[in-house]
Chain A
Amino acid sequence: MTSHSILQIESLDIALRSGDAILTGVDLAIAPGKVLGVIGESGAGKSMIGAAIADTLPPGLAISRGSIRFDGLTLTDMTARTRRDLLGRDIGFIPQEPMTALNPTLTVGQQIGRHLARIGIANRATRDKRAIELFSEVGLDRPAQLLKSYPHQLSGGMLQRVLIAMAFASNPRLVIADEPTTALDVTIQAKVVELIARMRQAHDTSVLFITHDLQLAADVCDDVAVLYAGRIVETGRAEEIIDAPRHPYSRCLSLAAPNLDGPVAPLMILPKAMPGAVERAAMRGCAFAPRCPAADEACTRTPPPRRAVSPGHVSACHYPERTSAIAPPARRNAGDLAAPGEAAVLRAQGLGKAYRQHDWLGRVREVEALRGLDFTVREREFVGIVGESGSGKSTLTKLIVGLENVTSGTLHVVGLDRTSTPRERFFDQVQLVFQDPQSALNPRRRIGSLVTQSLECRGNGLAAKARRELAAELLAKVMLPPDAADRFPDQLSGGQKQRVNIARALCSNPRLLIADEIVSGLDVSVQAQILELLRGLREQASFSLLLISHDLAVVRHVCDRVLVMCKGEIVEQGPVEQVFGAPRHPYTMQLVAAARGRPRSDDRHAREASDLS
């Protein structure tokens, strides 16, 4: 297989100037026309692989050992100039965030034109013609008009199509896609994945698909390599890695992600965090051992051997056979949830919100962000809201917490009319957990002061000692150690910050908690911690939760009921199992289908059969 690999990476090490390794002994090979997935959480070093191939490693990082061979050429022996010449011609790239990947001051046509000129189309008219062909190929409407547009005039999905068109324009041998769908809406994600698969086939290109999403990798890839702390811990056929992993980390990753089907099982929570480059240097054994449920003393002493557990399936573990026995601990009172009360904590009737926009002539235009919402959240009920960007989810949040005013219909919050009741009445009763803890926690306050901040402006100002005790109690509720109180937000990890964010909202014992996309930026294993924390809080059930998320599985894991929003309206609502299990509205069906991912397509199996013959 090695002889006709398009890309072959052998025992690649990438290290900081200090000598601490970012990647260690990475071996990868992609056969012609195949898709290889590289899976890892943030900090695993997965983006460094693409950067090493492109020779665009960040300053301070360098390849310290190993080789990269591409299509018969040894890249690591070539000059920077000849290597750059391959980029955009023989190696294409699809970026993570299409919205920022095109120059905002140049038209789409100028940018693709320059690219086509570089790959050898000298004549301008021919370039335009080719660009239009490419745009049609990736399913963009009105391609001629598109050439004259600026990037900000296109949606994320359209931009990603433009970028995919550019990546495949030169019929490259290899395309590197680095999290190409992460920044996009669920339904768009599915289409983009499909498009990449189609283009790959049409242009007979190999793809290196970098992602954090195990499920997505399973849908897209032929082979998969799992990366942990700079090492590849497991490689093999995609189905095998997903269905029968032979490395504990791969299995833990699967078990940490919530599902859309089957019972709502507890998620696997990994203790501690992935070791950084400096910590790794001090480890003698397996880097995963400190977090591994199957590890023993031997794991921390000697590095695990890499060996084939079955043909084409390699695992770097002392005990690959223990993998299948790993399971998350059962819940203390499994499934025994407190029943919601009868009283409504939140009731909306015909709720609407319109913004007035002035154009420069002074004309007023009304834009309806929300239209005729009817729903109720009862006491101790956990309700999810799902919808894509532009669905009005965030506007609804702002109305409930009072950051915006209602323009039509009524909204009762904790039994009080939001419009006519003074703001002060809501302060303790309604709390919001913001999406981005980085922005939501004042970096100049200590954690202890942050979690008890809401008490500061009450008449009953607590004594410093009482405040410290309360802080410790709140931190315990979100499973943070008490000494965290003396730290600053920047000294905590992303997941810890999000827990502080939640603890702070619980400080005043609110009756209604609103959580806006609180797990969207987090790694799977960190997300699992937060979701299990919410499950735990639900069992105690002292408040109602409105959980806003684009991820159906997240909502299913935590909530009783769900509202599906689309373009400012609620298109469907009901118990989670019913709505996701048997959606009735076409939009819900589309969402559920997209979230389930591509069914293992028959064409791939057919292709494999032909490869064998």
Chain B
Amino acid sequence: MRIWSWLSDPGLVIGGAIAGLVLACAVCAPWLAPYHPNDQDLLYILAPPVWAPDGAAEHLLGTDSLGRDTLSRLIFGARTAMEVAVAASFGAMALGAVLAHLAGYFGGRVDWLISRLVEIWLSFPPVVLSMLLIIGLGVGTDKVILAIVLVDWTRFCRVLRSEVQVVRGQDYVSFARLVGFAHMRVIVREIFPATLPMLITLFSLQMGISVVVEAILSFVAMGVPADVPAWGQMIADARINMFDAPWGLALPILAIFVTVLSFNLFGDGLRRVLDPRHRANGHV
């Protein structure tokens, strides 16, 4: 019966379906893409998509200024985006969640220290911090992942910390301490299950954010290496020729938009179905 209530949430279903599709594209990219993403077809340079007046059936979504197939690059771009997003979101979640539970549960000095750390991090605009980190770390897929983890853990930490504090105030946590549960056991058995729904929700939202950050970094040529196809890179390339080939700019923008939207919808849907308070939040 729980599954049915999940399926009745349109945001969750639509978001989940599209997100699943993007992930599937990422996994199956080599089989789905009609061309190798870096193959240049010099007969077709800046070809428009097939439905435009001069479109060619060989390249369904057209080609870029080097004659590379846009569809193939979009599909492989999804692979890059998902690789970065899954790894980075997971890392940010792990780091943020651990610190949030420690801060929220123990309070006092631990909380003070972690809160100050978050405060310092928040004084950096996220874009600026990720670029600074890339300057320090150098470019590369793994560096992008690390940069996102180091920037976005605070997002998890801030939200989860207050969530942990709420649960910490419940009498059942005091009871567990009174009957002799050790701190770690209380955190794992009594507190973590209560914060898990929020964690999953934040993870889904972070997927979208990671996709955007990866796109930004590739856009300013501080992301993945130049031979790895990425949506941000495609945008940067297409911007030069946007008056001649607007589709080349519009399609990767659309890809990012659809991906981010799907993870946001999925995350918001999860929040609705997993959070009992939210469910009870009727209108006045």
A–B direct touch in complex (beta carbons closer than 8 A): yes
Q: Residues of A with Cβ closer than 8 Å to B? A: 59, 401-403, 423-424, 427, 430-432, 434-436, 439-442, 444, 453-454, 456-458, 504, 508
**Alpha-carbon distance between A59 and B178 when the two chains are bound, in angstroms:** 43
**Alpha-carbon distance between A458 and B181 when the two chains are bound, in angstroms:** 9
**Alpha-carbon distance between A303 and B57 when the two chains are bound, in angstroms:** 79
A453 touches B176 (CB 8 A): yes
Closest to B182 in A: A457
Q: A59-B283, A453-B176 are in contact. Are A440 and B182 (CB under 8 A)?
A: no
Residues in A whose Cβ lies below 8 Å from that of B185: 457
* Count of interface residues, chain B, beta-carbon cutoff 8 Å: 19
A440 touches B172 (CB 8 A): yes
B71 shortest CB reach to chain A, Å: 46
**Alpha-carbon distance between A436 and B182 when the two chains are bound, in angstroms:** 23
A439 shortest CB reach to chain B, Å: 4
B174 touches A508 (CB 8 A): no
B175 touches A444 (CB 8 A): no
Q: A439-B170, A441-B172 are in contact. Are A424 and B178 (CB under 8 A)?
A: no
Residues in A whose Cβ lies below 8 Å from that of B171: 434-436, 439-440
Secondary structure at the A interface, as helix, strand, loop or mixed, is loop
Closest to B173 in A: A442
Closest to B186 in A: A457
**Alpha-carbon distance between A427 and B182 when the two chains are bound, in angstroms:** 12
**Alpha-carbon distance between A176 and B160 when the two chains are bound, in angstroms:** 43
A524 shortest CB reach to chain B, Å: 24
A434 touches B194 (CB 8 A): no
**Alpha-carbon distance between A457 and B185 when the two chains are bound, in angstroms:** 9
B172 touches A403 (CB 8 A): no
B90-101 to A contact mask, C-beta < 8 Å, 1/0:
000000000000
Residues in B whose Cβ lies below 8 Å from that of A458: 180
B284 touches A59 (CB 8 A): yes
Closest to B189 in A: A456
A427 touches B179 (CB 8 A): yes
Residue in A59, A434, A442, A457 whose CB lies within 8 Å of B179: A457
Closest to A508 in B: B179
B177-197 to A contact mask, C-beta < 8 Å, 1/0:
111111001000010011000
Residues in B whose Cβ lies below 8 Å from that of A454: 179-180
A394 shortest CB reach to chain B, Å: 12
**Alpha-carbon distance between A430 and B179 when the two chains are bound, in angstroms:** 9
B278 shortest CB reach to chain A, Å: 15
Q: A59-B283, A59-B284, A457-B185 are in contact. Are A440 and B180 (CB under 8 A)?
A: no
Q: A442-B190, A444-B194 are in contact. Are A424 and B180 (CB under 8 A)?
A: yes
Asked if B282 is an interface residue, CB under 8 A from chain A, the answer is: yes
Residue in B180, B194, B283 whose CB lies within 8 Å of A427: B180
A sample of 22 cross-chain residue pairs with beta-carbon separation below 8 angstroms, ordered by A number, consists of: A59-B284, A402-B178, A403-B178, A424-B180, A432-B178, A434-B171, A434-B174, A434-B175, A436-B171, A439-B171, A440-B170, A440-B171, A440-B172, A440-B175, A441-B172, A442-B172, A453-B175, A453-B176, A453-B179, A454-B179, A457-B180, A458-B180
B168 shortest CB reach to chain A, Å: 12
Residues in B whose Cβ lies below 8 Å from that of A457: 179-182, 185
B191 shortest CB reach to chain A, Å: 10
A432 touches B194 (CB 8 A): no
**Alpha-carbon distance between A585 and B163 when the two chains are bound, in angstroms:** 46
> Which of B176, B180, B283 counts the most chain A CB atoms within 10 A?
B180
